[in-house]
Structure 1
Amino acid sequence: MATRSEVEMTDAEVDALLSRHETGVLSLARDETPYAIPVSYGYDPASREAYLRLVSTPDSEKREFLASDPQARIVVYEEDGDEYASVVGVGTLHRVDLDELTPETIAQYGETRRPLFEIWAEGKSDLDIELYRFTPDRLTGRTVVIDRAEE
């Protein structure tokens, strides 16, 4: 499969892709150890921040990573026929306390969707739901068109 073209996305194209999707992959790293999970998010193109509700259990690896102030990346992608687009955000994940919520941020968290399925070994009473804001230092996107005629 040959690449016909590869183009960097404009800020407006990056914002549009992030705004039309609600799921992606959150990757966290600490001490050179990676951790990646699928997440649902809400995106605010004005602030260029993503809002996440993260659910974990008391002894989960996710909770350990979140407590360590990890480096963070968010990846969102889409494919449409011969065109593939992806956005990568590199930045900081901030835990949001309930007293920091405003009507505007509550609306952003409302955009985050629960996973389509839930599997929990522990009871729901043991789940910890925390709100996070992802502030990117860098948002980049690229669109790739594949030339399938050469296959």
Structure 2
Amino acid sequence: MSTDELLESSAAAMTDDRIREFLTEQGVGTLALPDDDAPYLVPMSFGYDGASALYFTFLLFGPESRKETLSERASGARFLVYEARSPHEWRSVNLRGRIEAIEEDDWADLREAMANAWHPDLFSSAEPMRGVRGYRFRIDEWTGIRQGGSVE
């Protein structure tokens, strides 16, 4: 089913304000990075600056990181955030943008935006970790759809 067909059903497009609100409420999504044969998908905790960017960190283990390598060479990426409360009430926002590393001395925006991010405790005991890199996902385009819940 295409997005247009979906919107003709009981689903509805989300306004920009609803998308901003949704991104502020959420703290986890899926980052899609371009790769040779198929996109590389990574579940990510994120923070949203309320305007035009998502922020996240990569915890780096081992001598190299596939997500770090793919992020560095990507000219564009996608990020998906969704919430499914029931088969009749759900929201989904699809973002297209550019990903860029943030130097450690410029992490003020990242720290502020990450206040709402969800963080698994799995990585707190993982070793050996070689570092943490901060990233900004600059949003170029977004679309949001929802079914059920409050009316816009």
Q: Say yes or no: TM over 0.5.
A: yes
CA RMSD of aligned residues (A): 2.3
Do the aligned partners of 2:82 and 2:91 also contact (CA within 8 Å) in 1?
yes
State the Cα distance separating 1:144 from its structure 2 match: 2.8
Structure 2 counterpart of 1:99:
105
1:136 and 2:142 are equivalent in the alignment: no
Q: Which digits, 9 at most, give the CA deviation of each residue in 1:42-64, with x for residues without a partner?
A: 1121x221110111222332232
State the Cα distance separating 1:33 from its structure 2 match: 3.5
CA separation of 1:36 and 1:93: change in aligned 2, threshold 3 A: same
1:54 and 2:41 are equivalent in the alignment: no
CA separation of 1:101 and 1:123: change in aligned 2, threshold 3 A: closer
- Of Structure 1 and Structure 2, the greater strand share is in 1
Distance 1:59 1:130 in 2: 13
Structure 1 counterpart of 2:69:
64
Q: 2:89 aligns with which of 83, 90, 112?
A: 83
Q: How many percent of aligned residue pairs carry the same amino acid?
A: 27
1:13-24 equivalences in 2 (<5 Å): 13-24=18-29
Unaligned runs of 5+ in 2: 1-5
Letter in 2 for 1:12: D
- Indicate the larger mover: 5-14 or 64-73: 64-73
Distance 1:96 1:123 in 2: 23
Distance 2:137 2:143 in 1: 15
Unaligned runs of 5+ in 1: 146-151
Distance 2:122 2:74 in 1: 28
State the Cα distance separating 1:115 from its structure 2 match: 1.9
Q: 2:13 aligns with which of 8, 21, 24?
A: 8
What count of residue pairs does the alignment treat as equivalent? 139
State the Cα distance separating 1:6 from its structure 2 match: 1.7
Structure 2 counterpart of 1:149:
none
Distance 1:112 1:85 in 2: 18
- Indicate the larger mover: 61-70 or 13-22: 61-70
Instruction: Compute the TM-score of the two structures, normalised by the length of structure 2.
Output: 0.79
